[in-house]
Structure 1
């Protein structure tokens, strides 16, 4: 086999391998999100890790690939009936052109989104809270993801927050 043919064969073989050497997580800081929904928002790389941080009434999670933040989420209280577009506008990368779902529960774009979390009765969680709990998802890096993929992640994440026990936590 000539050197050129060998180089071509090696190139083809390396292209057929997955560029993601890590296993996509099944949760984001304890909140279950199916890997097949999360996977399109995570870049190629060798290693995935996550860390969480709670400060000033906001619980954040950072998912990193090869030590660069690829996705971040937040769970946070806002005044009751705050419009979803206003919540999304506080997310880095969100803009007035972001789409809003017909039920006005989600706002999303290729850079991130926000969703209203449906807790059973927020007035029973913390007597001092008269508000609603919201989740945000932000795609890391300079590139945008597919807006439909972002919507799937924000829907899955928002729906899974109550099952993760986050509605009972006083942030």
Structure 2
């Protein structure tokens, strides 16, 4: 009897966890393929996921990801001239304690509430610099633990960045 009671409680607890997210985590964000497993930790519980892509001009795209109509993730992809200091510290500083990381583009940094990476590439026959930005927008970002959140942002950046670069037609 105790086994069945414990099993019933466990099943109820697992079922309750599944109901906390009323949407499937996608394998692309605004047309850019990503690993849904690395996107999932950055999304809060909610009923509805939304995405909106905005072309901001040649070589510049932004993406807003919402949960229950609240902005949770902002992504930006920009092509700029080589030699531009796209990793300027002020923008990264406001995301909280940035630190350089390896394994993404030519240079990358992860902060408490986002990340940025750059890579030199060729776009339409011209040398360019691709800049990718991932920014968490919630007042209470997820995951709640800062170290876990930074790791989750870096994992997402590693999945999203290469696909974003090629999606804008930039060849490195």
Q: Does 1:150 align with 2:153?
A: yes
* Residue number in structure 1 paired with 2:98: 98
TM-score using structure 1 length: 0.74
Give 3-state SS (helix, strand or coil) of 2:112's partner. Answer: coil
- In the alignment, does 2:60 pair up with 1:53? no
* CA root-mean-square deviation: 2.6
The alpha carbon displacement at 1:76 in A equals 0.8
Q: Which residue of 2 aligns with 1:62?
A: 64
Q: TM-score, normalised by structure 2?
A: 0.74
**Alpha-carbon displacement from aligned partner over 1:87-126 (angstroms, at most 9, x marks no partner):** x64369424x20111466211122111112464x2361xx
- Large movers: runs of 4+ above 6 Å: none
Hey, what's the Cα distance between the residues in 2 that align with 1:22 and 1:52?
Answer: 19
Shift of 1:55: 2.0
Structure 1 segment 10-159 matched on structure 2, within 5 A: 13=13, 15-56=16-57, 58-83=60-85, 85-86=87-88, 89-90=90-91, 93-95=94-96, 97-102=97-102, 105-117=107-119, 119=121, 121-122=122-123, 124=125, 127=126, 130-145=127-142, 146-159=149-162
2:159 match: secondary structure: helix
What is the CA-CA distance between 1:84 and the residue it aligns to? 5.3
Distance 1:85 1:163 in 2: 20
Cα deviation 1:63-103 (Å, max 9, x = unaligned): 110001111100012331444531x64369424x2011146
Secondary structure in structure 1 of the residue aligned to 2:162: helix
Contact 2:118 2:132 in 1 (8 A): yes
Q: Secondary structure at the match of 2:45?
A: coil
Aligned residues: 150
CA shift, 1:56, in A, is 4.9
Contact 1:117 1:161 in 2 (8 A): no
